[in-house]
């Protein structure tokens, strides 16, 4: 009878309050460049927890969305990204050094889900794009994929909706160059862990998705209205 080896113990996680070396020197430069080049502004930072973990659910219009969402934050965000990006030279190494979690969108494995939950419980902000892919429709938000619900059932953390406006003009789909267009980011009020736990019970998944989608749409609309004031 073959004895299976015990599951590998994941490496210890770093502090969820301090950015890694590749990012923190660039953040000041990036913030200054974004303020000048994109007229970048963000509001709602007071809604982020000071010490504990939370899930950031962000609308997705452009490849630059993770940078735009994390730019004004003093602490790192552990984003979730497609697993095949980790095989891209240079980019893969950068993703590994900036806390990004790989996940297969077509068949999310339990190992990825466990790692996301581990980071949330450790105190990380985990950033996800629940639309699953970049949304190009006229409506503010595309349909949400239900994958994050299983995480909420196990990780008792709040969800914070984040709306980004202007990213699709900074880097439209199919382009590789950034364009000087204004960007606005709105961080919404958190949805409490207790409210999420109530909605995440079996049989109420549709209600949860509709509730979260509504809160996300509110932040996207607020960001779009803010952007309209300067364009």
pTM > 0.85: yes
Other C-beta atoms closer than 10 Å to the C-beta of 14 total 13
Instruction: Identify whether 163 is part of a domain.
Output: yes
State how beta strands 54-58 and 159-165 pair.
parallel
Instruction: Identify whether 43 is part of a domain.
Output: yes
Q: What is the total count of domains within the chain?
A: 1
Q: pLDDT 10s per residue in the chain (231 long)? A: 455 555 567 788 888 888 776 666 777 888 888 888 899 999 999 999 988 999 999 999 998 999 899 999 989 899 987 777 666 776 666 767 778 888 766 555 688 889 999 999 999 999 999 998 888 877 789 999 988 888 988 999 999 999 999 999 999 888 888 999 999 999 999 999 999 988 877 678 889 999 999 999 999 999 999 999 987
Parent domain of 120:
31-228
- Reading across the β-sheet that carries 125-128, which strands appear in turn? 41-43, 184-187, 159-165, 54-58, 125-128, 77-82, 101-103
Instruction: Identify whether 185 is part of a domain.
Output: yes
The distance in angstroms from the start CA to the end CA of the chain is 70
Residue 16 sits at φ, ψ, to 5 deg, of: -80, 5
Which among 217, 197, 199 is positioned nearest to 207, based on CA atoms? 199
Instruction: Identify whether 3 is part of a domain.
Output: no
């Amino acid at each position: 009878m073959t004895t299976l080896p015990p599951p590998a113990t994941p490496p210890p996680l770093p502090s969820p309050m301090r950015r890694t070396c590749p990012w923190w020197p660039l953040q000041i430069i990036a913030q200054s460049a974004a303020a000048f080049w994109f007229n970048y502004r963000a509001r709602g930072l007071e809604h982020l927890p000071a010490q504990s973990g939370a899930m950031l659910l962000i609308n997705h219009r452009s490849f630059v969305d993770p940078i735009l969402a994390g730019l004004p934050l003093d602490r790192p965000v552990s984003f979730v990204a497609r697993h095949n990006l980790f095989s891209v030279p240079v980019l893969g190494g950068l993703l590994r050094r900036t806390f990004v979690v790989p996940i297969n969108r077509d068949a999310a494995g339990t190992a990825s889900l466990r790692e996301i939950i581990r980071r949330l419980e450790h105190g990380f902000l985990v950033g996800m794009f629940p639309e699953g892919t970049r949304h190009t429709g006229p409506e503010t938000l595309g349909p949400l994929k239900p994958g994050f619900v299983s995480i909420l059932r196990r990780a008792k953390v709040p969800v914070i909706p984040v709306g980004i406006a202007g990213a699709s003009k900074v880097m439209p789909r199919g382009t590789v160059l950034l364009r000087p267009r204004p960007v606005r980011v709105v961080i919404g009020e958190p949805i409490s862990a207790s409210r999420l736990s109530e909605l995440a019970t079996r049989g109420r998944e549709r209600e949860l998705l509709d509730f979260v989608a509504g809160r996300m749409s509110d932040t996207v609309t607020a960001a779009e209205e803010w952007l309209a004031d300067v364009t």
